[in-house]
């Protein structure tokens, strides 16, 4: 299973949304969606604190990567603003898998820690997926533990993968009808495409779609994307979605991105704004909703312990 990446990529949320080059498409900015979700999280945190419980989102950072350390700082700051405690363990770059597991085990066993995040990526010599599998599934704030993906597949409650859940929330916020409509997802990755397909096919007013997933095994994938009412890019191939792949007036959501250094290269070409009816901005679309979902998973995990 490829390692989840949203703990890193979600930091796009702090950037200013850009306006599509020449398009007339409605811009689906993630910021107001995230604001609404985080306002709800803050209210729920306050309610728990009023009962004498401080919800805690623990974080683990391994190594000295500046970007990762910065991302952790942003999350800790945001956690504090929302009223979470955020205990943190910083392991050296030389830490072994056993060292990492020992820290995870300690947070798992700590009744005052309700949610746990391991900053991705970990140094190359460590196996992130194995570490993730060691996290107590009920504290899995990324919603990427195999048990939670299984819960999603089975329609059972549990923390949802943040980026897919954020995309559902984005569509719902902008009152884009999803139920009964044709959704095409380009990409079947474990982080985004696959869980998103499961989520949007669920029987729920904000989902309930006819979902098609295309990938490298579908050579003529544009045939599918061109008929999509809602097209979601989840490939991680810069510019793979061009205007000719988009049905005029369709909703286009850009989830896939690649980083070259600090430069973010999205799957969706900016020119698609001229064809789409609504589109996420190049920066500040899916990212902010991903972060918001992380905190929603954290407060839900804390609440679950006291109900």
Ligand X SMILES: NC(=O)c1ccc[n+]([C@@H]2O[C@H](COP(=O)([O-])OP(=O)(O)OC[C@H]3O[C@@H](n4cnc5c(N)ncnc54)[C@H](OP(=O)(O)O)[C@@H]3O)[C@@H](O)[C@H]2O)c1
Longest CA–CA span in the chain (Å) reads 57
Instruction: Determine how β-strand 230-233 pairs with β-strand 251-254.
Output: parallel
Catalytic residue among 142, 229, 247, 267: 142
| Binding flag, residue 84, ligand X (CB under 6 A) | no
**Piece in contact with ligand X (CB under 6 A), picked from 68-76, 132-140, 256-264, 275-283:** 256-264
Q: Which residue is nearest to ligand X (CB)?
A: 189
| Binding flag, residue 158, ligand X (CB under 6 A) | no
H runs (alpha helix) in 83-192: 97-109, 128-134, 146-154, 162-173
Environment class of 59 (CB within 10 Å of its CB; exposed 0-12, middle 13-18, buried 19+): buried
Tell me the Ramachandran region of residue 274: left when phi exceeds 0, alpha when psi lies from -120 to 50, beta otherwise: alpha
Q: Binding residue per annotation — 70?
A: no
Query: Which residue among 290, 292, 295, 297 contacts ligand X (CB under 6 A)?
Result: 290
All residues at 6 or more sequence positions from 66 whose CB lies less than 8 Å from its CB, including other chains: none
Catalytic residue among 5, 78, 119, 267: 119
Q: Binding residue per annotation — 291?
A: no
Instruction: Confirm if 272 and 279 have CB atoms less than 8 A apart.
Output: yes
Query: Collapsing DSSP states into helix, strand and coil, what is residue 234?
Result: coil
112 in catalytic set: no
Query: Which residue among 113, 141, 192, 283 contacts ligand X (CB under 6 A)?
Result: 192
203 in catalytic set: no
Q: Binding residue per annotation — 277?
A: no
Q: Which is nearer to ligand X, 113 or 186 (CB)?
A: 186
Q: Which is nearer to ligand X, 45 or 268 (CB)?
A: 268
Q: How far apart are CA 184 and CA 291, in angstroms?
A: 24
DSSP 16: P
H runs (alpha helix) in 143-219: 146-154, 162-173, 193-200
Q: Which is nearer to ligand X, 4 or 63 (CB)?
A: 4
- Candidates 141, 143, 172; CA nearest to 32 is 172
**Piece in contact with ligand X (CB under 6 A), picked from 31-39, 100-108, 140-148, 187-195:** 187-195
Return the residues of window 118-157 that contact ligand X according to CB under 6 A.
Answer: none
Return the residues of window 2-61 that contact ligand X according to CB under 6 A.
Answer: 2, 5-6, 9-10
Smallest distance, Å, CB 193 to ligand X?
A: 5
| Binding flag, residue 287, ligand X (CB under 6 A) | yes
Report the interface residues with ligand X, using CB under 6 A. 2, 5-6, 9-10, 163, 186-193, 215-217, 221, 234-237, 240, 255-258, 286-287, 290
Catalytically active residues are 75, 119, 142
């Amino acid at each position: 299973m490829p390692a989840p990446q949203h703990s890193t990529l979600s930091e796009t949320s702090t950037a200013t949304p850009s306006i599509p080059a020449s398009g007339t498409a409605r811009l689906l900015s993630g910021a107001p969606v995230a604001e609404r979700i985080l306002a709800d999280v803050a209210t729920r945190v306050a309610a728990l604190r009023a009962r004498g419980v401080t919800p805690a989102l623990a974080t683990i950072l391994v190594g000295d990567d500046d970007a990762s350390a910065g991302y952790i700082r942003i999350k800790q700051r945001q956690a504090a603003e929302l009223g979470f405690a955020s205990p943190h363990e910083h392991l050296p770059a030389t830490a072994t898998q056993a060292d990492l597991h020992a820290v995870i085990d300690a947070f798992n066993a700590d009744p005052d820690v309700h949610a746990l995040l391991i900053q991705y990526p970990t140094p190359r010599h460590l196996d992130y997926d194995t570490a993730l599998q060691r996290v107590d599934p009920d504290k899995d704030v990324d919603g990427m533990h195999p048990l939670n993906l299984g819960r999603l597949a089975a329609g059972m409650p549990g923390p949802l993968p943040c980026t897919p859940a954020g995309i559902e929330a984005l569509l719902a916020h902008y009152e884009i009808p999803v139920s009964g409509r044709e959704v095409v997802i380009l990409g079947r990755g474990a982080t985004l495409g696959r869980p998103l397909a499961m989520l949007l096919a669920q029987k729920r007013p904000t989902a309930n779609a006819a979902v098609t997933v295309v990938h490298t095994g579908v050579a003529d994938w544009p045939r599918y994307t061109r008929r999509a009412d809602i097209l979601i890019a989840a490939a991680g191939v810069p510019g793979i979605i061009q205007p000719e792949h988009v049905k005029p007036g369709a909703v286009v959501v850009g989830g896939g991105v690649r980083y070259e250094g600090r430069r973010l290269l999205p799957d969706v070409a900016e020119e698609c704004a001229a064809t789409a009816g609504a589109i996420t901005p190049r920066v500040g679309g899916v990212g902010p909703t991903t972060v918001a979902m992380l905190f929603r998973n954290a407060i839900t995990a804390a609440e679950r312990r006291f109900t």
